[in-house]
Amino acid sequence: MTGLSMGKGSNQSVSGILSRSFLYLMLFFLVVPGTILTVASYRRQLKYVSANIQIIAEKTALRFDGFISTRLQILKNTAWIADIASLSVQDQVEMLSRLLGHVEALQQAAFLDREGNLEGRFSLLDSTGSQHLTEYLQAQGKNLMNLRESLVGEVHIDRSTNEPHVAAAVPVFDVFGDFQGVLVAELSLRFMWEFIGQVLIENGGYAYIVDSKGRLLAHPDLTRALAAENVSGLPIVADFLRYGEDQTGTDERYIGINGVPVVGKYYPVTATDWAVVTEIPWDRSFSPILRQVLFSAGIIILAALTAVLIGILLSRRITVPLDHLTGMVTRISGGEEDLRADLHGPREVSLLAAAFNSMTEQLNLVLRRLENRIQEIRRNEVSLREANTRMQVLIDHSPIAVVLQNREGIIELWSKAAESIYGWKSGEVLGKELPVIPPGELGSYKIFFREIVEGKDKVINREFQSLRKDGTRIWVNVSVAPLVDSSGDVYGIMNLVSDISEQKMAREQIVSSLREKEVLLREIHHRVKNNMQIISSMLSLQEDSIDDRIMKDVFQAGQQRIQSMGLIHEQLYMSDDFSRIDFSRYVESLSQYLLQSFDQDTAGIHFVADIASVALSIETAVPCGLIINELLTNSMKHAFRGRKERNIWIEMKENPDNSIALTIGDNGVGLPSDEASGKRSSLGLVLVRELVLQLHGSLEYRSEPGAVFRIVFPLDPASKSA
C-alpha cells in the first residue's frame, strides 16, 4: 500500500477548525444583532434629521411666501381703493406715493393702461436704480396686457447696490370687472439674504433658495448668490425642477451645494416659482450612529479573540489522541499494511480507530481485486489490439471500400479500397466532408444522412452516382448503417461501397437486348398472324370458286381452324407478355368470330361464357383454342336444326389440384347415336381427341339432352392465375 496523499483541506487541524467554529458562532450572535440595531438606529436618525430640516424649510418658505403675498395684496388693494385707472397721471403719482411709499421693501411702482402706455409712476430710488423697472416694462409691456392674475418676475441684482430685486405685477379692473391696466412694483429682496444667513440648523446645517431654472437666489455665502450660480445639477434641486410641489426631496445621501455628503429637503414658495432648500452634513447628523458602530466593532473584536482562545483550549483536549491515531494512519499509508491502530483512548477515538482498522482490511481486499482487474484489462487490451490489427488488415485488403463518418459527416476512416475507387488518398479527405456527392444531389444526400443519424432508418442499401477525383461519375452500391454506442445514441455511420459501374453497364446492355428481342417477338407474332390471315383469305377465295357444298364446308372449317390459331398470335402481339395469353379474352374473341361466320345458322343462339381469369402459354393455348373452335363449330352447325331455343355455354375453371376443367355444351339434338356410342367418329371429334392427348388431358362427353364435352388437363408451368 502506498502513502496516502493529502487532499484539499486535509492540512486543516482540529484545533484550527474548533477555533474558527467558535469565532464564526460568536461573530454570528454579535454581528447580526449589532447590524440590525445599527440599521434601525440609522433609519430612526435619518427620519429625525429629515423631519427637522423639512420643518425648517417649510417655515422659511412660508416666511418668504407671506412676504411676497402681502406685497401683492397691497398692490391689489391700492388699485381697487384708488380706482387708479380713472385718475389723471398727476393724481396717479400722488396716490401711488401716498399708498405705497411706506410699504417696506417696495422701491418703486408704475401704472400701465390697457394699451400698454406708461402713466403714473413713483420711485424711492435715484434715476440709475429705477432704470431696471423701465427696462422690465419695455420688455414685458405686451405680455402684461394679457395679465389676469398676479405675477412675480425673475430676481435680478441691482449692480449699483448689489442687492436682489424682483418685479411684481397685478391686473387692474374697474367695478364692472373690465381690465383697465397693470400696476407694477419693484421689491427689494435684501431681507431674503439677511434671513437666509440667520436660519439656524443644528449640526452645521444651512438653507438656500433657488428658482424654477435652478439658479441660486439666496445663500449664506453672498458671493455665490450675487453670481446667480446654476445649481440644477444637485439631486435635491433636480427633484424640485422635475416634481415641483408633488415632492419635498429624498432621504438618500447626496453631495450637497458645499461639496460634502448631505441629507436635504426642499419646500416651494407658493407665491413664486422658488423653493427653499435645507441641507445638513451627513457625517455630523449621524455621528452618534458612527460612535455606536465603532463601539460594536470593538465588542466584536474582543469576543472574537475570546472565542479563538476557547477553541484552542478545547481542541488541545481532543487532538492528543487524534495525533496518535494520525501517526498510525500515516504508517499504514506508508506501506505497513498489517499494522492496526491502537483502540485505547476516549470512546469516540476508539470507535474511530476500530472503523479505520475495518476500512484498512476492506481496502486491502479492494486493492487485491483491483490488481486482478488491472491484469485482466491489460490482457483485454492485448486482445483488442490484435483484433484491431486483424480488422485493419481486413479493411486494407477488402475489395469493398469502408468509409466511416461522425455525426457531423466528417470522414474518420478512408480505406485503401476507397482510395482505389474514388482516387482520393486518405490524407486528402480525413477530417473533411464527403467529396464524392455530385453538386446537384448534395441537398438530398444531407437529408438522407440526417435521417440515418437521427435513427429513422437502420441499414440502407442503395445505388448512387458518385464523383471520382478526376471529375468522372461512377455507379456505386452503398450499404449504410448507423454506429450506436452503449446508450443507444448514434455517434457515426459506416459506408460499405462497391464500384458497380461495369455491372450497371452490363445490366443496361441486357435490358437493351431484351427490348430488341421483345420487338422481334412482337414482329414475329404479328407476321404469323398476318400470314394466317393471308392463308384464311386464300381459302376463302378458293371456297368461292367451289360449288360442292361438302367441299365448301371443308374449306370453311379450315379457315376457322386457322383463324382460331391466328387470334392467339394476335393477342400475343398486342400483349406485354409474349409467353402467356389471357384465355378469357381469347374465348370472347373466338366466339364472336364464329357467331359472325355462321351468320344465318346462328340466328337466335344465346351464348354464355364463364371463363376463369387464367393465363395459358402458347403451347397450351393453341390446342385448347382448336378444341373450342371444333366443339363450338359443331354445335352451331348441327345442334339446333328444328329447335327454337338455342343455348350454348362454355365454362373454364382452375381446380385445386392445379388442373384446368373446360366444359362446352348445348341444348341441341345431341350427338348421333353411333358417335355417342364411339362406333364412329367425325373428323372434328378425332381432332379433338388428338388435341386432348397433346394437352395430356382427359375427354368426357355425353348426349341427351344436348351434347356436353368436359376436358380436364394439367396447368402448364408457364401458366398462372391472373
Sheet holding 646-654, edge to edge: 605-611, 646-654, 659-666, 707-714, 698-703
Lowest pLDDT segment from 39-48, 169-178, 187-196: 39-48
Q: What is the pLDDT of residue 215?
A: 92
Of 11-25, 214-228, 438-452, the poorest mean pLDDT is in: 11-25
- Fold exhibited by the domain 398-499: Beta-Lactamase (3.30.450)
What pLDDT is stored for residue 209 in this prediction?
93
Buried b (16+ CB within 10 A) or exposed e, 229-239: bebeebbbbeb
Task: Output the pLDDT for position 626.
Answer: 81
The stretch 283-304 carries a mean pLDDT of: 73
- Cβ–Cβ under 8 Å, residues 78 and 96: yes
Q: Which residues contact 604 (CB under 8 A, 6 or more apart)?
A: 644, 646
Q: Where in the chain is the domain with CATH 3.30.450.20?
A: 20-79+201-305, 83-188, 398-499
The contacts of residue 321 (CB under 8 Å, 6+ apart) are 345, 346, 349
Starting from the edge strand earliest in sequence, which strands make up the sheet with 274-281, in order? 216-218, 206-210, 274-281, 261-269, 254-255
Q: What string of DSSP letters covers 659-715?
A: EEEEEEEESSS---HHHHHTS---HHHHHHHHHHHHTT-EEEEEESSSEEEEEEEEP
Q: Are 203 and 220 in contact (CB under 8 A)?
A: no
Binned at pLDDT 50, 70 and 90, residue 606 comes out as confident
Rounded Cα distance between 35 and 42, Å, is: 10
Better-scored residue on pLDDT, 24 or 227: 227
Q: Are 216 and 231 in contact (CB under 8 A)?
A: yes
Mean pLDDT, rounded, for 714-719: 62
User: Residue 160 — pLDDT band, cuts 50, 70, 90?
Assistant: confident
Label residue 720 by pLDDT band (50, 70, 90).
very low
Most confident of 516-525, 618-627, 674-683: 618-627
The answer to whether the CB of 285 falls within 8 A of the CB of 34 is no
For residue 666, pLDDT beyond 80: yes
Which of 667, 666, 684 lies closest to 675 in space, CA to CA?
684
State how far the Cα of 218 lies from the Cα of 223, in Å rounded to an integer.
10
Relative to beta strand 605-611, strand 646-654 is: parallel
> Quick one: 516 exposed, middle or buried, by C-beta within 10 A (0-12, 13-18, 19+)?
exposed
pLDDT for the residue 6: 45
Residue 450, C-alpha cell as written in the block? 440526417
C-alpha cell belonging to residue 88: 389723471
Please, which residues bridge with residue 709 across strands? Answer: 664, 701
Residue type, 66: G
Q: Supply the CATH classification number for the domain 83-188.
A: 3.30.450.20
Least confident range from 182-191, 264-273, 672-681: namely: 672-681
The label of the residue with cell 475570546 reads 306
Average pLDDT, the chain: 78
Question: Would you call the peptide bond into 705 cis, given omega within 30 degrees of 0 as the criterion?
Answer: yes
Lowest mean pLDDT among 117-126, 515-524, 652-661: 515-524
Question: What integer is the mean pLDDT of 153-180?
Answer: 85
Most confidently modeled range among 30-44, 245-259, 261-275, 458-472: 261-275
CB atoms within 10 A of CB 119: 18
- DSSP H or E stretch at residue 706: none
Termini Cα distance of the chain: 84
Residues 54-64 pLDDT 10s: 888 888 889 88
Among 264-268, 340-344, 605-609, the least confident range: 340-344
CB 154 within 8 A of CB 211: yes
- Percent of the chain whose pLDDT exceeds 90: 3
Measured distance CA(591)–CA(650) in Å, rounded: 10
What dotted CATH number matches 509-721? Answer: 3.30.565.10
Q: How far apart are CA 13 and CA 520, in angstroms?
A: 105
Cβ pair 660, 652 in contact under 8 A: yes
- Who's near 219: CB < 8 A, 6+ residues apart? 196, 208, 209, 225, 229, 257
Per-residue pLDDT, 7:
45
Please tell me the predicted confidence (pLDDT) of residue 603. 66
CB 226 within 8 A of CB 157: yes
Residue 4's pLDDT band (cuts 50, 70, 90): very low
Q: pLDDT (tens digit, 9 = 90+) per residue, 302-339?
A: 776 776 677 666 666 666 666 666 776 776 666 666 66
Output the pLDDT for position 83: 82
Compute CA 156 distance to the chain's CA centroid, rounded to the nearest angstrom. Answer: 67
Distance CA 401, CA 701 (A): 70
What pLDDT does residue 570 have?
Answer: 63
User: Cell numbers of 693, please?
Assistant: 392427348
Mean pLDDT of 668-693: 73
Share of the chain above pLDDT 70, in %: 76
- The count of other CB atoms within 10 Å of the CB of residue 533 is 15
**Per-position DSSP letters for 51-82, written without gaps between them:** HHHHHHHHHHHHHHHHHHHHHHHHHHHHHHHH
Which burial class, exposed, middle or buried, applies to 14 when counting CB atoms under 10 A from its CB (0-12, 13-18, 19+)? Answer: middle
Statement: residue 94 has pLDDT above 50: yes
Q: List, in order, residues 6 or more apart from 369 with CB less than 8 Å away.
A: none
Q: What is the pLDDT of residue 230?
A: 92
The least confident of 66-75, 277-286, 303-312 is 303-312
Q: Residue 127 and residue 122: Cα distance in Å, rounded?
A: 11
User: CB of 218 within 8 A of CB of 226?
Assistant: no
pLDDT for the residue numbered 305:
73
| Cβ atoms of residues 112 and 181 within 8 Å | yes
Q: Quick one: average pLDDT of 640-648?
A: 80
Region of poorest pLDDT, from 183-192, 292-301, 366-375, 696-705: 292-301
Q: What is the pLDDT of residue 18?
A: 62
By residue count, the chain amounts to: 722
The secondary structure of 6-36, three-state, reads CCCCCCCCHHHHHHHHHHHHHHHHHHHHHHH
pLDDT of residue 178: 86
> Residue 531's pLDDT is what?
65
Calculate mean pLDDT across residues 492-496.
Answer: 86
Is residue 294 scored above 70 in pLDDT? yes
pLDDT of residue 136: 77
- The set of cell numbers assigned to 436 is 464524392
Question: Which pLDDT belongs to residue 439?
Answer: 84
Every domain range in the chain assigned CATH 3.30.565.10: 509-721
**Superfamily the domain 20-79+201-305 falls into:** PAS domain (3.30.450.20)
Interatomic CA distance for residues 60 and 200, integer angstroms = 11
More confident residue, 477 or 557: 477
Higher pLDDT, 612 or 357: 612
> Looking at residues 397-407, what average pLDDT do you find?
83
The backbone torsions φ and ψ at residue 6, rounded to the nearest 5 degrees and listed phi first, read -80, 125
Q: Out of 122-126, 618-622, 644-648, pick the least confident.
A: 122-126
The answer on pLDDT for 29 being more than 90 is no
Give the pLDDT band of residue 297 (cuts 50, 70, 90). Answer: confident
- How far CA 606 is from CA of 200, 631, 633, 668, in Å, comes to 139, 16, 14, 12
Q: Average pLDDT for residues 572-598, to the nearest whole number? A: 69
Q: Output the CA torsion sign for 96, 100, 102, 108.
A: negative
Would you state the pLDDT for residue 15? Answer: 59
